[in-house]
Structure 1
Amino acid sequence: MKMKKYILVLPLMVLLIFTSCTSSRKLYEKGKYEQALRKSAKKLKKKPQKFEEADVFYAAYRTLFVQDSTLAANLENKNYPADAEKLLAIYTRMKQRQDLALSLPPLAGIKVREYDYSSKIGETKQKVAQLAYSKGLQLLTDARSSFDREKARQAYIKFQKAKNYGASQSDLPSLLAESKKLGTANVLFKVEKNANVILPKTLNEELINTPVEDLDREWVNYDNYIDTTVFYDYSVILNIQNIQVSPEQLNQKQYTETKEIEDGFEYVFDENGNVKKDSLGNDIKIPKYKTISCNVVEFFQRKTAIISGQLEYYDNRTQKLIKAEPITAQSVFENAYATANGNLNALKPETRKKLNLKPVPFPTDEAMVLQAGETLKKMTRDILVKNKNLFK
């Protein structure tokens, strides 16, 4: 197995060594001018008088300069607004190469003609910013009329781009805010119930307060209280359809436990009716046993509450149900205790422990419903998290 491992690794090592040893001259000959330029510059910074590297740097620099100058001139002549970003990229990389050449040690002897790329870059940035601003306005206008969230999001990206490139329009902050608002999908979580369901006020408030803030994403906002300044595109409704509380149940089970215990002794007689003796001359006796018993009555208290319904996802623009998931939560009260009548020594240890338990008052119906509501709240939260990517 070791042999195979080395055979697999060796070609990779050879490739890494070969790549790292590729000279700037070879890179240039392969047409990889940018790589050749960077590599020769790196070597010149370490050994400025390495003239062969200076030759490669000059050659690569000139080639790239001619290529980008020609491309920039063509784009300038066409004067297409959509080409401004391409032009910006060209001027930016030309400036970076010029800065690199100027940063080399004087001993390297690298001298290049300096151009004012900063002005070109500044002018082109303004064109890019203006184009992005104009496109953003167009997208936002469409989004306003069609309530198209996707177009509003694209508008926001364009306005953000315009801002990043230094756009100076005074209405840009308000346009960013408007496109962000139009592009955001707002989701309202609320609790509803059937007419015949009586929901404790405290439980209703607890369920409404189910945490939703952390479900927010860049373009999705969750609320559990109505914000009158926004339109809610979607609703998630916890629809309580039924609440059932069982009667108080007290069941019992009766049983008897028995145990054999020693109860004195009796002599052992021989065939002549005389008491037998052991080797020491003592009378031989054997223990006598008797059975003792104890009657036990075990009592079982039980009460349950069940809340059932479903979590419903609605598209408020189309009034259509997107998805519904059933949800049921239960609370259970249980208590057990026992009484005994008879000889307690007959009882098993676990049975005797039950005698120490006492009956307790049954919880009220409201207390049972509130306890089930706590479980329901957790279950609701889990479903919300699971389906958080349903809205986009």
Structure 2
Amino acid sequence: MKFGRLLISVSLMIAALVHLTGCSSGKKAYERGDYFDAVMKSVNRLRQNPDHSKSLETLKNAYPLAVEFYETQAKNEIASNSNFKWKNAIQSYNAINQMYEAIRQCPGCMKAVKNPVNYYNEIGPLKEKAADESYNAGIEALMKGNRNDAKRAYYNFADAQNYVPGYKDVIEYLDKAKFEATLKVVVEQIPVPTRYSLSGGFFQDKIEEFLHTNYTEQTFIKFYTPEEAKVAALPYVDQIMRIQFDDFSVGNSVLKEKEEVVTRDSVKVGEAKVDGKTIPVYNTVKAKLNTYRKEILSSGLLSLIIVDGKTNGVLTHRKFNGEYVWVSQWARFNGDDRALSDQQLALCKLREQQPPVPQDLFLEFTKPIYNQLIPSIRSFYQSY
């Protein structure tokens, strides 16, 4: 009992420490000079406990220092020749505004900071200038004519649009930068030869679903079917991805049969009278057992080839194996069923099952291939 109480006490202490760690007063952030973090942590703590003395003290001391820091930073940026001085100044003022909103929404915080300040009025006139500098930076980056700079241009145009919606012709340039920054990949999925009377459509649809779901408008990679690329009238293609089955086999049947004699000792087989008393009679019982195992084997080999759209050079070539084994088991016996185990008896109650149709067997062996293919595609494109 004492040991149990000790464990409970230790658990409570750990829980308390975790709680305190998660509800920091911000004092450590204040001591290392991170005044913004100190303010925000103090505010979070005071929302839970409006009378927390350490948080009140930290907030009271950290807030004016945080405001002074960001005010100075904004003024220095405006006075500088920085390429994004207006953007940086707005970010500094936004930090002050963020603290302002956090304190206003925390009644307990008003004990430490009675009149928080905001810079909403100061930000207004800066937005036009910030939009202009971001717009010009976007133009400059886009003119360099490479994909990475086009990405940079897109983000700059997005900033300009955020500061002043519809600034100049920024919407047109957003679309242009997005197109130039996006890697355009045509996916050619080679159909299964019709002579097999099988369809890889479901497998191919799953691949297309993955590509369209995981690489959306928010990414800089877009996959097209050959038909989609034709409709879009793409002026160029960066890469071509070819996916095809090099080889596969469906429905190879193997039947394994085993015959054995099974016995069990000391089984009651009857009764006898000895000296006027009825006693059980035990003997060994046996049965001839035939067990059957039918396997239907299906397997395939898939190739993934990605080539450069301009040079046709191979960028990667991977192969993936898949296998599926369908099994049916049953048994027959002659003799005394008491010689059989429960498992053997259960097998004897079964009958040979009809295997799935070839199309279903095809789909089954493609599942492990899909599970290898998708991580490989994701890994290849993570650097793009």
TM bucket normalised to smaller: 0.5 to 0.7
Question: Does residue 1:200 correspond to 2:193, yes or no?
Answer: no
CA 130–198 in structure 1, closer or farther in 2 if over 3 Å, else same: same
What is the identity, as a one-letter code, of the residue corresponding to 1:324? H
**Corresponding position of 1:161:** 159
CA 347–138 in structure 1, closer or farther in 2 if over 3 Å, else same: closer
Task: Write out aligned runs for 1:160-239 (5 A).
Answer: 160-166=158-164, 170-192=168-190, 198=196, 200-201=198-199, 203-210=200-207, 211-212=209-210, 213-216=212-215, 218-223=218-223, 225-226=225-226, 227-228=228-229, 229=232, 230=234, 231-239=236-244
Task: Write out aligned runs for 1:211-360 (5 A).
Answer: 211-212=209-210, 213-216=212-215, 218-223=218-223, 225-226=225-226, 227-228=228-229, 229=232, 230=234, 231-245=236-250, 247-260=252-265, 261-265=268-272, 289-360=282-353
Report how far residue 313 of structure 1 moved: 3.3
Q: Which moved more, 1:241-250 or 1:216-225?
A: 216-225
Instruction: Provide Cα deviations, 1:286-305, integer angstroms capped at 9, x if missing partner.
Output: 76544432111111111110
Structure 1 distance, partners of 2:273, 2:277, is 9
Q: Residues 238 and 309 of structure 1 are in contact (CA less than 8 Å); yes or no, is this contact kept in structure 2?
A: yes
Secondary structure at the counterpart of residue 182 of structure 1: helix
CA 243–199 in structure 1, closer or farther in 2 if over 3 Å, else same: farther
CA 83–135 in structure 1, closer or farther in 2 if over 3 Å, else same: closer
Long gaps (5+) in structure 2: 1-25, 34-56, 101-120
Structure 2 distance, partners of 1:215, 1:129, is 31
What is the RMSD computed on CA atoms of the aligned residues? 4.6
What is the identity, as a one-letter code, of the residue corresponding to 1:330? E
Structure 1 distance, partners of 2:353, 2:140, is 72
What TM-score comes out, normalization by structure 2 length? 0.60
Instruction: Provide Cα deviations, 1:195-228, integer angstroms capped at 9, x if missing partner.
Output: 7994722x23432332323322644234363432
Q: Which moved more, 1:163-172 or 1:252-261?
A: 163-172
Secondary structure at the counterpart of residue 353 of structure 1: helix
**Corresponding position of 1:384:** 377
CA 219–83 in structure 1, closer or farther in 2 if over 3 Å, else same: closer
Report how far residue 337 of structure 1 moved: 0.8
CA 224–87 in structure 1, closer or farther in 2 if over 3 Å, else same: closer
Say how many residue pairs are matched. Answer: 291
Structure 2 distance, partners of 1:232, 1:133, is 28
Secondary structure at the counterpart of residue 144 of structure 2: helix
Structure 1 distance, partners of 2:264, 2:87, is 101
Secondary structure at the counterpart of residue 335 of structure 1: strand
Structure 2 distance, partners of 1:248, 1:88, is 71
Secondary structure at the counterpart of residue 200 of structure 1: coil
Structure 2 distance, partners of 1:374, 1:84, is 51
Structure 1 distance, partners of 2:321, 2:365, is 9
Report how far residue 284 of structure 1 moved: 7.9
Q: Residues 193 and 241 of structure 1 are in contact (CA less than 8 Å); yes or no, is this contact kept in structure 2?
A: no
CA 246–292 in structure 1, closer or farther in 2 if over 3 Å, else same: same
Identity level (%): 15
CA 156–238 in structure 1, closer or farther in 2 if over 3 Å, else same: same
CA 382–168 in structure 1, closer or farther in 2 if over 3 Å, else same: closer
Secondary structure at the counterpart of residue 209 of structure 1: helix
Report how far residue 178 of structure 1 moved: 0.8
Report how far residue 173 of structure 1 moved: 1.1
Long gaps (5+) in structure 1: 1-14, 23-38, 46-52, 54-59, 101-116, 268-281
Q: Residues 86 and 130 of structure 2 are in contact (CA less than 8 Å); yes or no, is this contact kept in structure 1?
A: no
Q: Residues 287 and 339 of structure 2 are in contact (CA less than 8 Å); yes or no, is this contact kept in structure 1?
A: yes
Q: Which moved more, 1:295-304 or 1:336-345?
A: 336-345
Q: Residues 308 and 315 of structure 2 are in contact (CA less than 8 Å); yes or no, is this contact kept in structure 1?
A: yes
Q: Residues 189 and 225 of structure 1 are in contact (CA less than 8 Å); yes or no, is this contact kept in structure 2?
A: yes
Structure 2 distance, partners of 1:298, 1:83, is 81
Structure 1 distance, partners of 2:359, 2:326, is 13
Question: Does residue 1:85 correspond to 2:85, yes or no?
Answer: yes
Q: Residues 234 and 316 of structure 1 are in contact (CA less than 8 Å); yes or no, is this contact kept in structure 2?
A: yes
Secondary structure at the counterpart of residue 253 of structure 1: strand
